[in-house]
Amino acid sequence: MALSWFEHQQFPLYLAPMAGVTDPIFRTLCKEAGADVMVTEFVSAEGVLQAWQRNHRYVEFEQQHRPLGIQIFGSNPEHAAAAARIIVDAMQPDFLDINAGCPVPKVVGKNGGSSLLKDLPLLQRIAAAVVKELGDDCPVTTKIRIGWDAQSICAPEAVLRLQDAGVQAIAIHGRTRSQQYGGKADWEMIDTCARSVQIPVIGNGDITTPQDVQRAKEHTAVAGVMIGRAAMNAPWLFARAKSYLRNGTIPPEPTGNEKLDFMLRHTRMAVDSGHYGNELLTMRAMRARLLAYAKGIPGTKPLRPALSRVSSYDELLEMLAPLRALS
């Protein structure tokens, strides 16, 4: 069951899964901006088994987001397989992704996410159980980091074990768990892993420009790249990178005013969707997003404290209006 988006020398650009960020509205915006493949925010396998209805909202998607993967985390092979079955039957994603990279204590404390890198046989058992359960119904992929810490780099062994378990692709974030998001992603290690397996490896970590995407394509063996934080600040990176890959030209960044329009449109869509509840709850969820966009817009620095408290769409509209003259 090959993943069609890797066929014919395509080099897909993935939107990285980001809890609290890659909600359905943001995924729609990234799809419009040129993202090829996307992965939902993660959902706990135990949460799916105990309260699927409550956890469902993390993995909702629209048909236009396809090809799309739903990501789960867990530490028990049977439970992961049972949760994967519930998700696939209910949602029919294009692939089911297993998280073995999340560094946050809430996940690691339950032996999920990156703590699986300390127990590769368990990671392999989880992957094999999910692959067996889903059979031909849905391909399985995995996302890993390169190891728990600098003393225990295990990605080369992990990718072989995951390939043996039957996963169809592996995304590698080139950092250890200890690094969290600091230091630099190790693309040499990603490349080494990509060369050692027959399945596609997607490189992830510190891709921020079209040139970074091109470099990964030309100089490493990855079959695609995954973009996280840079997409959060600038979703138009997808289109700019694709143009560069296609014909060597990079379209200009949107102007300041176009970025302001984008911020407002994202906010309007989020409020109208009701995904986060009422307007105040939505604006609370949007604050970090607005601050991320604002980084790339002239004149927004003095607004940062107000943006971090903004509580309605109209307030945001008023706040941004004076900036129009600056761009």
Ligand X SMILES: Cc1cc2nc3c(=O)[nH]c(=O)nc-3n(C[C@H](O)[C@H](O)[C@H](O)COP(=O)(O)O)c2cc1C
Binding stretches for ligand X (CB under 6 A): 16-21, 41-42, 71, 99, 101-102, 143, 173, 204-207, 227-230
Of the residues 102, 138, 154, 193, only one is catalytic, namely 102
User: For strand 169-176 and strand 224-227, is the pairing parallel, antiparallel, or unpaired?
Assistant: unpaired
Residue 281 CB, shortest distance to ligand X, in Å, is: 18
Nearer to ligand X, 102 or 260 (CB): 102
What is d(CA 194, CA 133) in angstroms, rounded to the nearest whole number?
Answer: 26
Residue 326 CB, shortest distance to ligand X, in Å, is: 28
Nearer to ligand X, 56 or 315 (CB): 56
Going from the C-alpha of 208 to that of each of 32, 205, 226, 321, the distances in angstroms are 18, 9, 11, 28
Residue with nearest beta carbon to ligand X: 228
The partner residues of 143 in beta bridges, in order of sequence, read 99, 171
CB within 8 Å of 144: residues ≥ 6 apart: 100, 101, 114, 117, 123, 155, 158, 159, 162, 170, 171, 172, 173
Residue 205 CB, shortest distance to ligand X, in Å, is: 5
Nearer to ligand X, 76 or 114 (CB): 114
Nearer to ligand X, 284 or 327 (CB): 284
Residue 158 CB, shortest distance to ligand X, in Å, is: 14
Task: Answer yes or no: 102 catalytic.
Answer: yes
Instruction: Kindly list the catalytic residues.
Output: 102
